[in-house]
Each structure stands twice: as structure tokens, then as C-alpha cells.
A and B are shown apart, each in its own frame.
Chain A
């Protein structure tokens, strides 16, 4: 019951004084109203008989007078009851108004926040203004693991407590069912988590966005407390607004992170682009240096027609060919070589091979000796897995007699005028692969007018098509038989065209080199 005083009643009821006057006239006698301390509120002091004014068992004052004082005392008691009811109602309405105002300002404050922790903190702070609690926490649900982790908390019991999961404990139940709960006897609740030692009463609401539970909000008391539906309703109202704000904060955070990630990737991309451009320039330079290692023009050989072409699989290649007149142009040394591997590393070894060959030329007694020397030098200056296969032919132009050495190279082909094809096989190990001091055999070859000699790298027979089939030696020999009377340049072009046609859209995976020497008819 709200507290009332007789002074308030007499003062508040503006119509009371005229009513009392009418009352006095009716009874023909004046009355005096005194408060509990004897202070006169109405009328003149004194009176024969005094009647107490009682409200809710409490003595508020007295009415005295000759007649009607008792009735007046009863009336004032009745008015006191009504005033007390009005006050109780008014204070209840004011409390509701206070809640409305808090929820209103809470929404406004929430709208200004985009940080998850601050949203959680503000929600708990506002909740404490509306609901009495010693402890509180906002626990967010990890959808995958089911773990409930505190985004904000206060009090002695709830902060620091971990191990909440969906489906266990009171908070876990609310997270699982999405329905808020009041538990005023936590100690007697079988779901109670042992870790939360001293909590007596709990009111817990789900944080829901649409139908999805994203966490729970919990207020608790370590003192015995009877939470009511009113508190749960309020908590639900706050939780509803907080859940949306939390979801917004998360969305905002994700957007910001995505923005940062995009910027980071752009920066990385730019750096990679710069590095790639630098690498590209170096590769371009390496390719142009390597291109200069091939003979700019092939020597004119009297009575012969010589043509060659190299096409690396990457920017730089590991194939090499050369044609070097020797013995005062009476002879020529032809060479096609293939370095193990591809790309820049192969191209480095290829330049080494070219320098070695050119350096040894004219300093050795025979082609065999030159080959053995080249092997020793390459072995000494390259790693274990690096080697070079090479086909070398030393031809005396006038007679067409030649010495042929093959250091582990694929077959060279001599297409006779008759159309017969003689395969020239390997006469020793690849250069640089095995320990030094290896002997190399030589094959004597006679190139007669109308004959055509083909030196190539394994990029020719190994070229693949879309069905993973290889071009093979048989396709090569078929073409050679067909075009053997054409110019060397024509033969080279035909073979490359045939390879390209065969490969279709399959990218070239190995370097391709082809050298054709035709001895002209007399």
C-alpha cells in the first residue's frame, strides 16, 4: 500500500473544503480535522468528541465535533484508501512509463552502435536499469560447435564461467528451445551447472533473429529472488532488439573485413604484377641472349642445302643446333643437342654446351676426342642430374664422307635417294652424365647426291596430340619419304606443320629442333 497522509488528502481534494462546509451545515455543527501529530488541518481547534481516521490499520489523524464527526472520520478514511489506491496505480503506471522510456532510449543508443562487444555491454547495462540482478551475461552461440561464449558479463558468478553449450544447463536449454525461462530455484534445478556456484534465481531470454537463435541473455541473482513474467517479458523485449543489433554488428564487421581483405589482395596482386613484370623482362632478355647463341645464318655449303629451325616450349629452351665450317671450309661440323630439362635452367646449360663446343673446335684430333672432352668438361661443371645428348656430324664436303658421333641422342635419319632410310643410333653416353673418361664410338656415314640427312631433338618424335599419342619416328619417316626432293627449308617447314597439325590444341611441352642437310644432285 502506498503511503498517504491526511494533509495530502485535504490538500489534494480541492472540492473537500466546500464539501466539509456543506456537511457542517447539514449536521448543524462544526468539525475539526487534525493530523497524526495533532496539527489542525481544517476547522478551529478543540472539540468534544474525537474520532480517529484510520487507513490500512494506520492512525492518520482525528476528527472532532459535536455532531457528524464520526461520519466525517469514516469518510476521510475511505478517501485515504482511494488515495492510496490511486498512488499505487500511479506508481505502477510510472514504472511502466519508465520502462517504455528506457526501451525507447535503448533502441536509439543501439542504432548508433556497430561494435558487437559494445552492443552486448549496453544491453546488459540497460537491462540492469529495469531488472534487479547481481549477475548477467550475454552468451553468443557458435552455430557449428554449439558453444555459448560470453560477449559481455557482469557480477561475481557469471563472468569467467565457460563451458556453456547448447542443450546443457539453463542457458543451453533456452538456446536450444528458443523459449525464455524463469528459474527461481536454481539450486534445485537438475540442469544447474556446477561451475555457477552461488546463483539462486535466473531469468533467461533467447537472442533471436527471425527464428534463428544466435545466443541467450541471462540475468541472475545470488540472493533469493522471485523473478516474474514481467521481468521475462522485459528481457525478451531487450533481447529482441539486441539480437538484431548484434547481427548488424557482425554483418558490418564482415563487410569491413571483406573490404580489408580485398585491399590486401589488391596490394598483393599489384606486388605480384610488378614482380612478374620484372621477371618477364629478365626472361625476355634471357630469351634474346639465347637466340643469339644460335647461328644467325647457316653457312653456305657448296653442293649442299642446309636448313634448321628451333622452337622452344617455353620462352627459353634447352635445345641447341649449330653448323660450323672447319678445315678452311672444306668440312663442316653439324650439331643438334638437347639439354635435360626445360626453361631457364636448361637454357643456361645449353649456353654452356655451345661455349664448350666452340672452344674445343680445332683443338682436338678427332670428333670422338672432341666429344669425350666435351663430356669431361660438362661433367665437371654441372650437377648430377644435368646432362646433354648430342648428335655431331663432321662432313667432308667434297666427298660426302662423314663421321657421326651420338652422345645418347635419339636416332638421326639418313634418307637415301632411293627412299631407304638409315637410322643412325647412339655411339656413347650423354655428355656430362657419367664419370669422365668415357670412350665414344664413331659411325662412318656416306652422304651421296640426292641423300638427305635429318638431325633432330626428341621434341619431334615425342610431340603429343590431344589423345596423348606421340608423333613418333614413323610419321616423321613417312613425311620425309614424301618430301625428300624438296628444299631443306621446305622439308623443315613441312615437318613443323605436320607436328602442329598432329598436336592440335595440345600445347608444346618440349623444345623442338630440326636440322636438314640435302646433298644436291650433281
Chain B
């Protein structure tokens, strides 16, 4: 079964950039999926159980924290590797990140090369 990455961000340009960054993984059989809000994200995580989720923290309605908490605690999907994305300079509640079970957080603007390396490491490719 092919490995899956879910990209969650309410801003289209960031979804595009993240997709573009990871696109070369498609050649290696990785599926890239996108969600534009928290509810879509929960549904996608539950149905496809991706190995890696890139999750924006600041989203309307359900925040990245909420999505992370529901995935890890609510759905019990502790094997999903969740990267929280926060804007640089924005106050980030690290304690909250730890509480909801996030595996890593990255700041935006992100380093595309570092993100690609991280994705490869998480997927084991």
C-alpha cells in the first residue's frame, strides 16, 4: 500500500508550496493529499490514515491543535507523525503542542529542503 502525506492549510498558496516541495516523492509512490480546514483534515486522517500530516496551527473553526488532539487522542492514531506549522514571530504555545501530542513543529517560512528531508525520514524512504 502506498504511503500517504496529508497537507492541511487554509491558505491556498501554502498548500501549493508544501505540495510543490514534496511533489518529487510522488515519483517514489507517495500519495499527496490536501485538506483546506480542520474538519476535512479529521475526516481525511480517519479515512486514509496517512503516515505524515503537515498541519497548520492557525485555522478558522478547528485549529491545528484541535485536529492533532482528535487524531492522536480521539482516534487513537498515535502512529501518525504530525508536524505543526506556525508562522514565524507568532506566539506559539509549546506546552499546548506537547499536550496535544504533536511530534514536531516547524515555522513558516519553512526551509523546503529541510522539510523534504524530514518527510523522507518519517516515511522511511
Q: Is the CB of A8 within 8 A of B26?
A: yes
Query: Does B79 sit at the interface, judged by CB under 8 A?
Result: no
Query: Which residues A98-114 have CB closer than 8 A to chain B?
Result: 98, 100-101, 104-105
Q: Is the CB of A101 within 8 A of B112?
A: yes
Query: Does A94 sit at the interface, judged by CB under 8 A?
Result: yes
Report A-chain residues with C-beta under 8 Å of the C-beta of B16.
90, 93
Report B-chain residues with C-beta under 8 Å of the C-beta of A27.
none
Query: Does A91 sit at the interface, judged by CB under 8 A?
Result: yes
The prevalent SS among residues of A at the interface is helix
Report A-chain residues with C-beta under 8 Å of the C-beta of B110.
101
Q: Is the CB of A101 within 8 A of B17?
A: no
Query: Does A252 sit at the interface, judged by CB under 8 A?
Result: no
Query: Does B10 sit at the interface, judged by CB under 8 A?
Result: no
Q: Report the minimal beta-carbon distance from A39 to chain B, rounded to whole angstroms.
A: 14
Report B-chain residues with C-beta under 8 Å of the C-beta of A90.
16, 19-20, 23
Given contacts A8-B26, A90-B23, A91-B20, contact A97 B88 (CB under 8 A): no
Query: Does B21 sit at the interface, judged by CB under 8 A?
Result: yes
Q: Is the CB of A104 within 8 A of B21?
A: no
Q: Is the CB of A101 within 8 A of B109?
A: yes
Q: Report the minimal beta-carbon distance from B53 to chain A, rounded to whole angstroms.
A: 19
Q: Report the minimal beta-carbon distance from A363 to chain B, rounded to whole angstroms.
A: 102
Q: Of the candidates A8, A87, A91, A100, which one forms a contact with B109 in the assembled complex, judged by CB atoms under 8 Å apart?
A: A100
Report A-chain residues with C-beta under 8 Å of the C-beta of B17.
93-94, 97
Query: Does B99 sit at the interface, judged by CB under 8 A?
Result: no
Report A-chain residues with C-beta under 8 Å of the C-beta of B26.
8
By beta carbon, the residue of chain A nearest B13 is A93
Q: Is the CB of B21 within 8 A of A94?
A: yes
Q: Is the CB of B20 within 8 A of A98?
A: no
Write out, one digit per residue, whether chain A residues 14-55 have a CB within 8 A of any chain B CB (1) or not (0): 000000000000000000000000000000000000000000
Report B-chain residues with C-beta under 8 Å of the C-beta of A104.
88, 109
Question: In whole angstroms, how far apart are the Cα atoms of A8 and B21 in the complex?
Answer: 16
Q: Report the minimal beta-carbon distance from B30 to chain A, rounded to whole angstroms.
A: 12
Query: Does B111 sit at the interface, judged by CB under 8 A?
Result: yes
Size bracket of the B interface: 10 to 19
Q: Is the CB of A105 within 8 A of B23?
A: no
Q: Is the CB of A94 within 8 A of B112?
A: yes
Report A-chain residues with C-beta under 8 Å of the C-beta of B88.
104
Report B-chain residues with C-beta under 8 Å of the C-beta of A94.
17, 20-21, 112
Question: In whole angstroms, how far apart are the Cα atoms of A87 and B26 in the complex?
Answer: 13
Query: Which residues B70-111 have CB closer than 8 A to chain A?
Result: 88, 109-111
Question: In whole angstroms, how far apart are the Cα atoms of A100 and B13 in the complex?
Answer: 14
Q: Report the minimal beta-carbon distance from B13 to chain A, rounded to whole angstroms.
A: 8
Q: Report the minimal beta-carbon distance from A335 to chain B, rounded to whole angstroms.
A: 93
Write out, one digit per residue, whether chain B residues 103-123 have a CB within 8 A of any chain A CB (1) or not (0): 000000111110000000000
Q: Report the minimal beta-carbon distance from A360 to chain B, rounded to whole angstroms.
A: 97
Q: Report the minimal beta-carbon distance from B20 to chain A, rounded to whole angstroms.
A: 4
Q: Is the CB of B111 within 8 A of A101?
A: yes
Given contacts A90-B16, A93-B16, contact A98 B23 (CB under 8 A): no
Q: Report the minimal beta-carbon distance from A418 to chain B, rounded to whole angstroms.
A: 107
Q: Report the minimal beta-carbon distance from A455 to chain B, rounded to whole angstroms.
A: 93
Query: Which residues A431-488 have CB closer than 8 A to chain B?
Result: none
Report B-chain residues with C-beta under 8 Å of the C-beta of A98.
111-113
Report A-chain residues with C-beta under 8 Å of the C-beta of B21.
94
Report B-chain residues with C-beta under 8 Å of the C-beta of A87.
23
Q: Report the minimal beta-carbon distance from A84 to chain B, rounded to whole angstroms.
A: 13
Question: In whole angstroms, how far apart are the Cα atoms of A94 and B111 in the complex?
Answer: 10
By beta carbon, the residue of chain A nearest B109 is A101
Most buried by B among A8, A90, A93, A97: A97
By beta carbon, the residue of chain B nearest A90 is B20
Report B-chain residues with C-beta under 8 Å of the C-beta of A8.
26
Report A-chain residues with C-beta under 8 Å of the C-beta of B112.
94, 97-98, 101
By beta carbon, the residue of chain A nearest B19 is A90
Question: In whole angstroms, how far apart are the Cα atoms of A87 and B21 in the complex?
Answer: 11
Report A-chain residues with C-beta under 8 Å of the C-beta of B111.
98, 101, 105
Q: Report the minimal beta-carbon distance from B16 to chain A, rounded to whole angstroms.
A: 6
By beta carbon, the residue of chain B nearest A100 is B109
Question: In whole angstroms, how far apart are the Cα atoms of A104 and B87 in the complex?
Answer: 13
Q: Report the minimal beta-carbon distance from B119 to chain A, rounded to whole angstroms.
A: 14
Report B-chain residues with C-beta under 8 Å of the C-beta of A97.
17, 109, 112
Question: In whole angstroms, how far apart are the Cα atoms of A91 and B21 in the complex?
Answer: 8
Query: Which residues A394-451 have CB closer than 8 A to chain B?
Result: none
Question: In whole angstroms, how far apart are the Cα atoms of A315 and B75 in the complex?
Answer: 98
Most buried by A among B16, B19, B110: B16
Question: In whole angstroms, how far apart are the Cα atoms of A285 and B16 in the complex?
Answer: 92
Question: In whole angstroms, how far apart are the Cα atoms of A101 and B17 in the complex?
Answer: 12
Question: In whole angstroms, how far apart are the Cα atoms of A98 and B16 in the complex?
Answer: 14
Given contacts A8-B26, A104-B88, contact A93 B109 (CB under 8 A): no
Q: Report the minimal beta-carbon distance from B106 to chain A, rounded to whole angstroms.
A: 11
By beta carbon, the residue of chain A nearest B26 is A8
Write out, one digit per residue, whether chain A residues 91-133 have a CB within 8 A of any chain B CB (1) or not (0): 1011001101100110000000000000000000000000000
Could you list 11 examples of A-B contacts with CB < 8 Å? A87-B23, A90-B20, A91-B20, A93-B20, A94-B112, A97-B109, A98-B111, A98-B112, A101-B111, A101-B112, A104-B109
Q: Please report B residues at the A interface, Cβ cutoff 8 Å.
A: 16-17, 19-21, 23, 26, 88, 109-113
- Please name the 4 residue pairs, one residue from A and one from B, whose CB atoms are nearest each other, closest first: A90-B20, A101-B109, A94-B20, A98-B112
